[in-house]
Amino acid sequence: MGPLAGIRIVELGGIGPGPFAAMLLSDLGADVLRIDRVVPSDGGVHMPDKYNLLHRGRKSVAMDLKKPEAVAAVRKLVAQADALIEGFRPGVTERLGLGPDACLALNPRLVYGRMTGWGQDGPLAEAPGHDMNYIALTGALHAIGERGGPPVPPLNLVGDFGGGSLYLALGIVSALLERGHSGKGQVVDAAMVDGSASLMTLMYGMHGAGTWADERGTNRLDSGAPYYSVYETSDGRYISLASNELRFYRNTLELLGLRWQDLPDQQDRSSWPALKQRFAEIFRTRTRDEWVELAEGKEICLQPVLSLAEAPQHPHLKARNTFVEYDGVVQPAPAPRFSRTEPAIQRGAPRVGEHTDEALADWGFDAPARKALRDAGAIR
């Protein structure tokens, strides 16, 4: 099941991007063991366990890492693991005795994945922060929003999940692949500030070339162009229009009852504000679904803006099983897809410590060893 079947990963439980990276690796077949705190953190979003989808796919062991017996148990797990994921501030795992040097001494083949906002070094390494702070520093937040308006936080997709989780997962898989040649593990330092900067590579290239203005809402991909924007319809809903290419743009003009011969060149930026206003007025004459029906089959990059309730019901997403129902919860299916080793959700999100005995037994802790840990208050 999944291309990472047979890979064993220890996750030192945190919130946000670390768990999402672990979820992705689990969806791809890795056996991920989550070490949860005996007393849950005051961070994160609290909800019934089965809805905590970032925790899906793995078993949970509840440990008190302030107990030396718990740390010793984690070290035994690390000695058997292919990779470790941790998302603490720099220096925390070192103080616990679970830092990279200690773990790689136990297991030289270990891939040690570190997830932080600012990275392991630099002036801000010890500073607190969240997604929006990291993307604010890289220019990403500045670039998102409409002309004349404030920056718009893009949920926590760009910093936490795009710039953090995906880069950590890619880094771990890459290090595992390299280990196949060298036989050696290494440390992966995934910082959200680095990843979100990397995601802006295209924009920095265009800015350097003089084709991307540093004023948000004035460029071809940030709602500045009339052919690449979101428009309200007569029913208060929205459509997304992304007709970048000339042929799609001319088809869009025809849909709107406009003649391209009567209008300025598509890339004439001075004409964009007035033309965008004209587009907006026309789109407000019909409902969202009427525009979608009119555009169908006409080579126009136009689709409805769907809500979270609507998206799983869209015919295309249903045909591809992009969303699945698991454990009574509708949720995104694993991605990407593979022709032979199909990813799958291995299990629902666990309760904290739900698999403590079962999982430790799987990793070689016999009944007396588990009892000793319990008696010491190291596990729950």
Kindly list the catalytic residues: 130, 160
Contact 227, 252 (CB under 8 A): yes
From 62, 20, 313, 42, select the one nearest 165 (Cα to Cα).
20
- Sorted by sequence, the CB contacts under 8 Å of residue 252 that are 6+ apart come out as 227, 241, 243, 300, 301, 302
HEC string for 252-268: HHHHCCCCHHHCCCCCC
Write out the two tokens for 318. 């249903």
The strand order across the sheet containing 302-304 reads: 228-232, 238-242, 302-304
Q: Which amino acid is at 32?
A: V
In angstroms, how far is the first alpha carbon of the chain from the final one? Answer: 30
Q: Which amino acid is at 79?
A: A
From 58, 52, 59, select the one nearest 331 (Cα to Cα).
52
